[in-house]
Amino acid sequence: NDGSLSKTINTINIATSGDANDFGDLSQARANLASYGNFIRACFVGGEAPSKVNTIDYVLIATQGNAADFGNSTHSAQHLTATSNSIRGLAAGGETPSQSNVINYVTLSSTGNATDFGDLSETRSTLGSMASPTRAVFTGGQTPTEVNTCDFVQIMTTGNAADFGDLSGTAAYMGAANDSLGRGFFIGGHQAGNKNVGATDVFTIASTGNAQDFGDLTTVCRQNAGCASPTRGIFGGGDSNTGAEDTISYVTIASAGN
């Protein structure tokens, strides 16, 4: 976020508060990548290094160490999004350098190249995503103007995305996280006019419909990263109105609030 490329992988314990610790390094330094994973593996997809790449590398979550090669994405892209259930990881959209509507997938338990899944309902980059065990939802982004689009796919099938509903406002560069029961959050982002936002939207992945307001971030920023346990959503880093952030904040998923 400060203009340089990084190989750093950090780790935190979601159940407790505290600073991140070093985990290892990516296989190559890059920015604007995406990630998916299950309880065993975390995979890191695409990015800029400084040219756009189709790299997929992975780590074993239970151990610390450097990432190893997983395979290649179907296209080289940055500013894409990725999400997963326990079986499949899906990546979507991005800049290639033109904006993309591609959705592809991998089987997380094995290594190998990604396979075409289908298309987003709208060609866009800098979007967000989350998943339940059955559905993946892709939200917002730029087309190149910021949009409030939410579309979804059924993860264990292939095919094009269908309409889900709308965000509470247009936004790109959002962070996202969801719990194991399928309650999803989209946080922060960027709106037209170079305006960062601090809103947190929430919806239930099992149903379709528009997002609802949950609360506000501790810092108004974009390009946050997100993750969650069954009880907590964690949001870290990003680009605020004053520069790159290292703040990690959290919400309690069962209740609404800042």
**Cis-peptide, bond into residue 133, ω within 30° of zero:** no
List average pLDDT for each run of 10 residues in the chain, which is 258 residues long. 79 87 96 94 96 97 96 96 95 94 97 98 93 92 90 97 90 79 74 63 86 73 76 77 77 74
Would you say 153 and 135 are in contact if contact means Cβ atoms under 8 Å apart? yes
Would you say 179 and 233 are in contact if contact means Cβ atoms under 8 Å apart? yes
- Residues 6 or more apart whose Cβ sits within 8 Å of residue 170: 140, 145, 146, 147, 148, 191, 192
b/e burial code for range 217-240 (CB count within 10 A of at least 16 → b): bebbbbbbbbbbeeebbbbbbbbb
Looking at residue 198, what is its pLDDT?
59
Bridge partners, residue 81, by sequence: 92
Would you say 209 and 194 are in contact if contact means Cβ atoms under 8 Å apart? no
Looking at residue 195, what is its pLDDT?
60
Lookup: tokens for 98: 């033109």
Alpha-carbon distance 91 to 129, whole Å? 9
**Model confidence over 214-246: pLDDT tens digits?**
777 677 767 777 777 777 878 877 777 677 778
Looking at residue 1, what is its pLDDT?
47
